[in-house]
């Protein structure tokens, strides 16, 4: 009886899942070569965009006829967003096969279309890939008082460029847009006299979520100005380069949406949002691997094992770990993998030498803690704290902060060593877990090495997502550090008490004998 009920329940759930999948499939419009799709925009507004999931077959060209545009609309931003791959969007069919000022190529592209008396406005999309691509078709209408995104274009191909250009590197993601123009009807105004403010926003996805649905959901949530302000985080412009550019630290495997908003008076218009995973999960899966080879995986496992052993080892051994850790990180940033080992060993030798000078020995150990706290402060600094973009000010702050922490810890005597070793030993465990589960705490160290080794990284916005995995690891880190601290403190107090109680028979006899015989 129970088996029959369970079997029927499983069949029912399977049918429900299948029906949902079929419904999702039927909601996607499939287009082959030569297909024509009518985009009816009768009730279109800037706060309610037109969206449609489509799939374009391999080596196919599709035509989209924009019709029935609302009479209140002055212009339309027509967009197409492709999952992972690139397509060409063009005003003309003849410009699909060449680089021109009438077409744009990419995965998040869009074109400006001024509403005219024409009944139909055709736009063309070509998929040059050898397989079908999934896409999101978007159209947003704006009235004649809204600014024109990319209306003062000076660098991109098309005359008006409402789209966003993203360049993804190993360490940084560069996002560029073109200046907006004030509203225009019959005559385009001067871009030199009328400057339209443009603000940039971005939004993180859940880490290591490469699903198609999550990709399109993120894009949809950043289409209108209202949604952008609600879901995105505003990014402060740099004082060093163009206000149309933002540079972000690359967090591999974490999807990000980037979009700009132009505002003129009480009216705003959104640019075409762009997307990046800081890697290429489908085209080049290896680019998304944080630990790409056997050696890096072996070092990660070794780091985890050493961290666990230090939780149960005596205090004298783990004082070496902070010094070696800091030396290895600095060596890796400056010299590479082999250099990190050499630098780590050199730091240990320097620390051993300092054993003969107690105050220097404590200062060396405490400097490692100051360095680590400095990395945490840099990692946690808000994107609006642009003072860190100046290299001189950053390194002066870092050195003063490092020395300040070290001097304060010297006042705590032996307990400073307990704190330093507890933090580093527990972080070795957390760092390994971070690499395996894909959180962002590893970038406490990575961002510092990038600051040393990557040119221009001082201008990067290092704001990072704090997600459930990060919070869990932080809680575990605190618990491990507290456990390690009290364990070493207990060992220290026991040894100190034993040393105080230990005395030889000759010392006892000497203490009990009279001073004068």
Worst-scoring range by mean pLDDT, 156-160, 238-242, 461-465? 238-242
Q: What tens digit of pLDDT does each residue of 48-93 get?
A: 899 999 999 999 999 999 988 887 888 999 999 999 999 999 999 9
Cα dihedral 423, 426, 428, 432 sign = negative
Grade residue 130 by pLDDT with cuts at 50, 70 and 90: very high
**Amino acid 350: pLDDT:** 57
CA atoms within 13 A on the CB side of 381: 23
Res. 271: pLDDT tops 60? yes
pLDDT band with cut points at 50, 70 and 90 for residue 23: very low
pLDDT at 291 over 90: no
Q: Residue 513 above 50 pLDDT? A: no
Amino acid 359: pLDDT? 62
pLDDT band at 363 (very low <50, low <70, confident <90, very high): confident
- Which pLDDT belongs to residue 88? 96
* Residue with more model confidence, 16 or 308: 308
Q: Per-residue pLDDT averaged across 151-176, rounded?
A: 95
| Residue 362: how many other CB atoms lie within 10 Å | 20
Q: Is the pLDDT score of 204 beyond 90?
A: yes
Q: Return the SS3 of 173.
A: strand
Residue 19 has pLDDT above 60, yes or no: no
Measure the CA–CA gap between 28 and 213, rounded to whole angstroms: 12
pLDDT in tens, 310-353: 877 654 555 666 766 665 555 555 555 554 455 545 555 555 55
Query: Using CA atoms, how far apart are residues 20 and 318, in angstroms rounded to an integer?
Result: 56
Angle at 217 between CA 211 and CA 221, to 5 degrees: 150
How much is the pLDDT for 18? 41
What integer pLDDT is reported at residue 78 of this predicted model? 97
| Higher per-residue pLDDT: 309 or 179 | 179
Q: Is residue 508's pLDDT more than 60? A: no
pLDDT value, residue 325 = 65
pLDDT of residue 383: 78
% of the chain at pLDDT higher than 70: 80
Low-confidence winner among 141-150, 157-166, 358-367, 456-465 (lowest mean pLDDT): 358-367
In this structure, of 80-89, 279-288, 293-302, 470-479, the range with the lowest mean pLDDT score is 293-302
pLDDT tier at 517, thresholds 50, 70, 90: very low
Return mean pLDDT, the chain: 83
The whole-angstrom separation of Cα 80 and Cα 89 is 8
E-strand stretches of 57-159: 60-67, 75-82, 87-90, 103-106, 108-114, 120-127, 133-142
Neighbours of 219 (CB within 10 A): 22
Out of 351-355, 454-458, 473-477, 481-485, give the one with best mean pLDDT: 473-477
Residue 503 pLDDT > 50: no
Q: Where are the alpha helices (DSSP H) in 264-357?
A: 294-310, 315-318, 320-335, 337-353
For residue range 175-186, what is the model confidence (pLDDT) as tens digits?
A: 999 999 999 865
Q: Are the C-beta atoms of 99 and 165 separated by less than 8 Å?
A: no
Q: Which of 161-165, 206-210, 412-416, 436-440 has the highest mean pLDDT?
A: 161-165
Q: How far apart are CA 147 and CA 181, in angstroms?
A: 6
pLDDT at 354: 52
Provide the percentage of residues in the chain whose pLDDT is more than 90: 52
pTM for this prediction: 0.85
Structure tokens at 204: 């993180």
Residue 355: pLDDT band with limits 50, 70, 90: low
In 3-state terms, what secondary structure has residue 207? coil
pLDDT at position 511 is: 44
CA–CA distance, 125 with 96 (Å, rounded to integer): 8
Q: Which pLDDT score is estimated for 187?
A: 64
**Closest Cα to residue 212, out of 259, 162, 158, 277?**
277
Bridge partners (DSSP) of residue 140 are 77
Q: Which two tokens stand for residue 75?
A: 């212009």
- pLDDT reported for residue 198: 96
pLDDT single digits (tens) 393-445: 999 999 999 999 988 988 887 788 888 888 988 998 998 899 999 899 999 98
How confident is the model at residue 21, as a pLDDT? 38
What is the structure's pLDDT at 349? Answer: 56
In tens, the pLDDT along 220-245 reads 999 999 999 999 999 988 877 888 99
- 158 or 299, greater pLDDT: 158
């Amino acid at each position: 009886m129970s088996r029959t009920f369970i079997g029927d329940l499983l069949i029912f759930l399977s049918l429900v899942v299948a029906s949902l999948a079929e419904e999702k499939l039927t909601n996607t419009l499939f287009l082959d070569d030569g297909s024509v799709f009518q985009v009816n925009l009768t009730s279109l507004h800037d706060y309610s965009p037109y969206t449609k999931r489509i799939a374009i077959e391999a080596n196919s060209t599709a035509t989209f006829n924009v019709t029935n545009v609302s009479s209140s609309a002055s212009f339309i931003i027509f967009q197409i967003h492709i999952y992972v791959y690139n397509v060409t969007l063009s005003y003309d069919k003849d410009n699909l096969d060449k680089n021109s000022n009438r077409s744009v190529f990419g995965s998040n592209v869009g074109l400006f279309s001024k509403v005219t008396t024409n009944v139909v406005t055709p736009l063309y999309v070509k998929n040059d890939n050898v397989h079908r691509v999934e896409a999101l078709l978007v159209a947003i209408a704006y009235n004649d008082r809204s600014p024109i995104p990319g209306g003062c274009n000076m660098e991109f191909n098309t005359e008006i460029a409402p789209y966003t250009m993203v360049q993804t590197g190993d360490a940084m993601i560069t996002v560029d847009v073109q200046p907006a123009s004030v509203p225009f009807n019959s005559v385009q105004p001067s871009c030199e006299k009328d400057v339209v403010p443009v603000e940039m926003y971005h939004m993180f996805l859940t880490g290591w979520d490469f699903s198609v649905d999550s990709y399109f959901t993120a894009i949809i949530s950043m289409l209108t100005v209202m949604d952008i302000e609600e879901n995105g985080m505003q990014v402060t412009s740099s004082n060093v380069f163009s206000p149309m550019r933002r540079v972000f630290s690359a967090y591999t495997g974490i999807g990000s949406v980037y979009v700009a908003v132009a505002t003129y008076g009480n009216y705003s218009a959104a640019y075409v949002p762009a997307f990046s995973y800081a890697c290429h999960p489908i085209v080049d899966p290896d680019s998304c691997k944080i630990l790409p080879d056997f050696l890096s995986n072996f070092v990660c496992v070794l780091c985890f094992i050493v961290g666990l052993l230090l939780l149960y080892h005596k205090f004298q051994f783990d004082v070496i770990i902070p010094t070696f850790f800091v030396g290895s990180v600095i060596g890796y940033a400056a010299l590479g993998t082999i250099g990190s080992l050499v630098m780590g060993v050199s730091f240990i030798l320097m620390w051993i030498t300092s054993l003969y000078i107690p105050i220097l020995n404590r200062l060396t150990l405490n400097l490692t803690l100051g360095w680590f706290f400095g990395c945490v402060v840099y990692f946690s600094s808000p994107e609006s704290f642009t003072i860190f973009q100046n290299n001189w000010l950053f390194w002066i702050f870092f050195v003063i902060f490092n020395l300040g922490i070290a001097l304060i810890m010297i006042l705590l005597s032996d307990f400073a060593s307990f704190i330093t070793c507890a933090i580093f030993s527990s972080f070795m465990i957390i760092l390994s877990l971070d690499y395996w589960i894909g959180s962002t705490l590893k970038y406490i160290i990575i961002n510092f090495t990038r600051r040393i080794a990557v040119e221009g990284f001082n201008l990067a916005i290092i704001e990072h997502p704090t997600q459930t995995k990060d919070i869990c690891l932080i809680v575990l880190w605190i618990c491990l550090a507290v456990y390690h601290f009290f364990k070493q403190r207990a060992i220290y107090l026991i040894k100190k008490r034993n040393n105080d109680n230990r005395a030889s028979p000759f010392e006892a006899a000497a203490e009990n004998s009279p001073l004068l015989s």
